[in-house]
Chains A and B, each alone.
Chain A
């Protein structure tokens, strides 16, 4: 089955800095890579996703890049703000397969004011 590795487990930055979280996956058939944000006491919520036919996608301060050859993808947050503090999960799944994503172990992002 699919295996998703996520690093780092904890990331501490100053407000205004950039943050990068990296994930690798094992199954070359995976073609959908979402990122979820989990705030304290809540369920994860999708913030951005990318499909295998795209190398990069941006949404305001958030961007995701995908390297299918190397089987890794990354989340980039620019101009971080305290409200970005949360746990971030990457995931990989196969559109056309079971659709059930395999998640990384999560990154706790702390943005210091």
Chain B
């Protein structure tokens, strides 16, 4: 039972570099989302998707892009990394409907220097 898989677990980037954080789920969930976790700030929503081909912005979308070409995958792209994007990133998925439990990945710790 893989659940939600995030890669990589750790990453160090230089300012201005680009990269993609991968997220895959094998539960056939329609709803997927990306959060960033910073000390004292809780979990802040970056982008989310309610199904393949549909994405929308969350609370802190600037500097991030997403796409949802399949139900399983929801990658998060940083086009030009900045030190302010140093954070722990979590991907989550949920089945929707009346059962809205979110299943989280293990997180990606990103440091931008």
Contact = CB atoms under 8 A, between A and B. Distances in A.
A14 B38 CA distance: 27
Given A45-B104, A49-B101, A95-B100, A9 B40 contact: yes
Bin the interface of chain A by size: 20 to 34
Contact of A99 (B31, B35, B58, B104): B31
Contacts, number: 62
Contacts of A45: 104
Interface string A40-71: 01111110010000000000000000000000
A104 B42 contact: yes
B43 to A, nearest CB: 4
B40 A105 contact: yes
Contact of A34 (B41, B48, B101): B101
Interface residues of B, number: 28
B71 interface: no
Contacts of A43: 4, 90, 92, 104-107
Given A44-B90, A89-B42, A106-B42, A101 B106 contact: no
Contacts of A105: 40-42
7 contacts: A41-B106, A44-B102, A98-B48, A98-B56, A99-B96, A102-B45, A103-B43
Interface of B: 4, 31, 33, 35, 40-45, 48, 50, 56, 58-59, 90, 92, 94, 96-98, 100-102, 104-107
